[in-house]
Amino acid sequence: MRAAGAWGAMGAMGGCAAFDTPLPWESRLSGDTVALLGEVHDNREVHRRRAAALRRALHAGWRPAVVMEQFDTDRQAEIERSRRERPGDAERVVATAGAGRGGWDWDFYLPVIELALAFDLPLVGGNLPRSEASRLVREPVGVVLGDERARRLGLDAPMDPAWQAAQEREINDGHCGALPPSIAPGMVRAQAAKDAQMAQMLKQHASRGAVLIAGNGHVRRDLGVPRWLADVPAPRVFAVGFVERDTRTPVGPQQYDAVVFAGRAWRTDPCERLRKRGIKT
């Protein structure tokens, strides 16, 4: 499945298929697969394609846990309380467990949450609490998370220099090349902790199969969550990038096992705000 020819074919088919047309890679969404399904956060078509693929897999019998980047791990109690009080009400889950989690267009995620509720699947907050992620930009992992928790997440060892450099490039590119060099290591530290936390939540449910709903950067095999899933047999981990068709960034099989292409969403220049503040980009 990860051969270059197979990857290219799946990517090409993803660009022209209707939302209701199954793609070859969807056969992997079964059993104890740990699937990582990416996204471009503000692209409606990407969200529709991903939800359609997940819906087909569930109707075919897959029953994974659904782990979401959009919910922090410390909001799990709110998720469970919402499900008890208002079963099947996805908007109630968002209103309680998503409260204060700005930056997400929750309308995009309601279809996935509705599927989890309709099929009575575990719905799991996967992300590091925002307060911890913010502190990690400035403080060491052991100080923020404690040595024992850092060890359990696999964050107690020095970062691989090549991986560190690649992550710094990705994060700097994502900020229009305007980040002060001094802040990059801290942002990589926070990114690594988020990925490790999401990996831990996937592993807790891996025996039944699990699916991660997260940004494309998090699901990348070379940089993201898969690096923290070393104790899950490699053939069970399957990463799918849902990317925009005219992306400027090359996409290849070293990043994802399959790719689904979508049209580019309209958006203002993300670097314009930095220019207005006088920051060179």
Q: For 2-49, what is each residue's pLDDT tens digit?
A: 433 344 434 434 444 457 789 999 999 999 999 999 999 999 999 999
The mean predicted confidence, pLDDT, of the chain is 89
Q: Tell me: the pLDDT tens digits for 101-126?
A: 778 999 999 999 999 999 999 999 99
Burial class (CB in 10 A: 0-12, 13-18, 19+), 188: buried
Contact (Cβ atoms closer than 8 angstroms) between residue 262 and residue 243 = yes
Burial class (CB in 10 A: 0-12, 13-18, 19+), 104: middle
Going along the chain from its start, the domains and CATH numbers come out as 4-16+33-128+193-265 (3.40.50.11550)
Q: What is the pLDDT at residue 33?
A: 98
Distance of CA 104 to the CA centre of its chain: 13
Q: What is the pLDDT at residue 99?
A: 82
Q: What is the pLDDT at residue 161?
A: 92
CA angle (212 as vertex; 211, 217 as ends), nearest 5: 145
Q: What is the pLDDT at residue 21?
A: 85
Contact (Cβ atoms closer than 8 angstroms) between residue 227 and residue 163 = yes
Query: How many alpha carbons lie under 13 Å from residue 248 in its C-beta half-sphere?
Result: 3
- Cα dist from 116 to 29, 79, 150, 151, 242, whole Å: 15, 12, 30, 31, 20
Least confident of 187-196, 198-207, 259-268: 259-268
**pTM for the structure as a whole:** 0.90
